Structure 1
Amino acid sequence: MSYVVELAAVSKSYPPPTPVEALVDVSLRIGTGETVAITGPSGSGKSTLLNILGTLEAPTSGQVTIDGIDASSLGDDSLSALRANRIGFVFQQFHLLRHLSILDNVATGLLYRGGSTKERRAAARDALDRVGLAGRSGHRPAQLSGGEQQRAAIARAIVGSPSIVLADEPTGNLDSVSGDLVMELLRGLAGLHTTVVVITHDALVASAMHRRVALRDGRIVDDSAAA
């Protein structure tokens, strides 16, 4: 199996005045096309792990490899390029720009890659079609339901065909029907060889993923892949 994510003995500490050992000696390998739920109580280190997987934070120690690239050795510009080309993000809050159409919101996912506006919009149309929103591309976010806005956010995350999609509580603001549809879309990415990692408190969301990794006090305490 080829691995999209490899963490080797990763720890993350935050200094005083509120010192915290957020992650402690975390080693984790996630393969191409896997769907993984990261679970655990509040304060277990889930958000810190997501930020490190997304190269938004650097570990205090240990090595982070994303799609074969040692992220721990990269400077800011190279990390930005890594995120732009290989990582898609989906959050509980949709973070759609109110003044832009859904089409142009999705196209913003390609801004750091360059290319013409025409090319970015064409890719955005394809991504919106994949999430069932082709007919809503000209609407503003306020004209869409919460479930539709989250599907648009997924389209923005996948518009550049990333190797990995990181989703932080993606169904947290949705009703059960909309949440089920969002999870179906995320699971479907595995068939396109995209790795999906979901941070969740929801046992039903976690059970929908192929693999579950549990954190407690910054450490991995269970991994269904090892069962």
Structure 2
Amino acid sequence: MTAALELRGVGKTYPPPTAVTALSDVDLTVEPGETVAITGASGAGKTTLLSILGTLERPTAGTVRVAGTDTSAMSDPQLSAVRAWRIGFVFQQFFLLDHLTVLDNVATGLVYRGMPAGTRREHAARALERVGLADRVRHRPAQLSGGERQRVAIARAVAGRPAVLLADEPTGNLDTANGRQIVRLLATLRDTGEDTTVVLITHNADVAAAMDRQIRLEDGRIVHDSGVAA
């Protein structure tokens, strides 16, 4: 089986005036359908790792493969196509547009696929049903709770049925009850027969424990990986 995501010898160093080494010699393989939590202290390299997995940043060393394809030689437009077709993103902030309905907020995530507006809305409606918000399609974001807005953000990320979902602190702005609901939703995304791979960053031990696999970073290196035998 081809890995969903694969890093080999990946490093990331930011040039002066920052002059920071964010990642060093990272090897990581994530299989289709895995749910993975990345943990570590602030500054450990978690967000940089997620950005490189999602091709939002290029490494300064090593290789990054998405579904077996080496992305190192890809142009920016080619990487944009990889993100548009294969990867969904969920962030701590919801990034919803207040002037659009919930349906149209989700549909905007499909703009870069070149779909007609009507087709985008059909996909968006199915994604909102998938996250339990079929009755909120005509609402505006201001009419929703925090948990509902995060579910809208997840619907936007999965509307195109991406193979990989990357989430950066998706429960960080939510209360405990809503956070648990989001974690359950993320953990069950793969249970659709599509082998959706979920990789998320979290500081919350309960969130991490709900994933199949836990990876801890320290100073830009993986120091623990529950998916790798000792």
TM-score of the superposed pair, with normalisation by structure 2: 0.97
AA at the equivalent of 2:207: V
Match of 2:119 in 1: 119
Deviation at 1:18, TM superposition (A): 2.1
| Structure 1 segments unaligned to the other structure (5+ residues) | none
Does 1:80 pair with 2:80? Answer: yes
Match of 1:214 in 2: 216
Deviation at 1:67, TM superposition (A): 1.4
Secondary structure (helix, strand or coil) at the match of 1:206 reads helix
2: CA distance, partners of 1:97 / 1:152: 11
AA at the equivalent of 1:145: S
2: CA distance, partners of 1:166 / 1:40: 17
2: CA distance, partners of 1:58 / 1:91: 19
1:27-83 Cα distance to aligned partner (Å, 9 max, x none): 100000000000000110001001101111000010000112211111010000000
Secondary structure (helix, strand or coil) at the match of 1:225 reads coil
Secondary structure (helix, strand or coil) at the match of 1:152 reads helix
Deviation at 1:2, TM superposition (A): 3.1
1:115-139 Cα distance to aligned partner (Å, 9 max, x none): 2111100110000000000000001
2: CA distance, partners of 1:31 / 1:106: 27
Match of 1:92 in 2: 92
Deviation at 1:114, TM superposition (A): 1.0
Secondary structure (helix, strand or coil) at the match of 2:104 reads helix
Secondary structure (helix, strand or coil) at the match of 1:49 reads helix
Match of 1:143 in 2: 143
Match of 2:179 in 1: 179
Is 2:2–2:68's contact at 8 Å kept on the other side of the alignment? no
- Map of 1:1-227 to 2, 5 A cutoff? 1-192=1-192, 193-227=195-229
Deviation at 1:167, TM superposition (A): 0.3
Is 2:5–2:64's contact at 8 Å kept on the other side of the alignment? yes
AA at the equivalent of 1:203: A
Secondary structure (helix, strand or coil) at the match of 1:38 reads strand
AA at the equivalent of 1:65: R
Secondary structure (helix, strand or coil) at the match of 2:10 reads strand
AA at the equivalent of 1:211: R
| Structure 2 segments unaligned to the other structure (5+ residues) | none
- Aligned length in residues: 227
2: CA distance, partners of 1:188 / 1:18: 39
2: CA distance, partners of 1:17 / 1:163: 37
1: CA distance, partners of 2:2 / 2:67: 9
After superposition, the CA RMSD in angstroms is 0.8
TM-score of the superposed pair, with normalisation by structure 1: 0.98
AA at the equivalent of 1:51: S
